[in-house]
């Protein structure tokens, strides 16, 4: 898609996460499936490494990489804000719905290329465990 639709120069202007972060603009990381893998940990890895799903050896605009913490916020609290739901979801706070996952590794402490390989051990929704590995 990069070569057929945009060309290399314009492709470097796609998904400018770091640039908008520097400008103080809120943004989300989300999936346009079939373009992007819809698995949240893989979306975090792609935002951090800028390696694309269909071409994992290609780095799209490496200067646009963001931290793991920022990528997690883009999938959680910033996404809730974008949906006008930050008062009920997006962060772990008293009075909010507490949907969360328990992972086998801390995504901030693994090699960025291994974030997608982290296993989900448990998933909790509305205070109830709905998945256990």
Each residue of 66-75: pLDDT tens digit? Answer: 999 999 999 9
* Average predicted confidence (pLDDT) for the chain: 89
Please tell me the pTM assigned to this model. Answer: 0.86
State the distance between the two ends of the chain, measured CA to CA, in whole angstroms: 36
> b/e for 11-46, b at 16 or more Cβ within 10 A?
beeebbbbeebeeeeebbbebeeeebbeebbbbbbb
Give the model's pLDDT for residue 98. Answer: 75
User: Domain range for residue 70?
Assistant: 2-132
Least confident of 50-54, 68-72, 113-117: 50-54
pLDDT for 53 beyond 90:
no
pLDDT for 57 beyond 70:
yes
Number of domains within the chain:
1
Give the model's pLDDT for residue 1. Answer: 62
**19 to each of 22, 24, 93, how far by Cα in Å?**
5, 9, 29
**13 to each of 26, 27, 61, 62, 63, how far by Cα in Å?**
17, 15, 7, 11, 10
- Mean pLDDT of all residues in 104-130: 95
Give the model's pLDDT for residue 35. Answer: 61
pLDDT for 38 beyond 90:
no
What is the band of 127 on the pLDDT scale with cuts at 50, 70, 90? confident
Give the model's pLDDT for residue 82. Answer: 93
Give the model's pLDDT for residue 7. Answer: 79
């Amino acid at each position: 898609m990069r070569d057929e639709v945009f060309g290399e120069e314009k492709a470097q202007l796609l998904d400018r996460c770091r640039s908008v972060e520097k400008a103080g603009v809120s943004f989300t990381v989300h999936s346009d499936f079939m373009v992007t893998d819809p698995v949240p940990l893989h979306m975090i890895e792609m935002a951090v490494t800028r390696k694309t799903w269909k071409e994992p050896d290609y780095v799209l605009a490496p200067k646009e990489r963001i931290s793991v913490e920022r990528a997690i916020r883009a999938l959680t609290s910033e996404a809730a804000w974008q949906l006008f739901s930050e008062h009920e979801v997006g962060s772990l706070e008293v009075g909010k719905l507490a949907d969360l996952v328990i992972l086998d590794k801390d995504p901030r402490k693994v090699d960025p290329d291994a974030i997608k390989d982290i296993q989900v051990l448990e998933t909790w929704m509305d205070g109830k465990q709905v998945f256990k590995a």
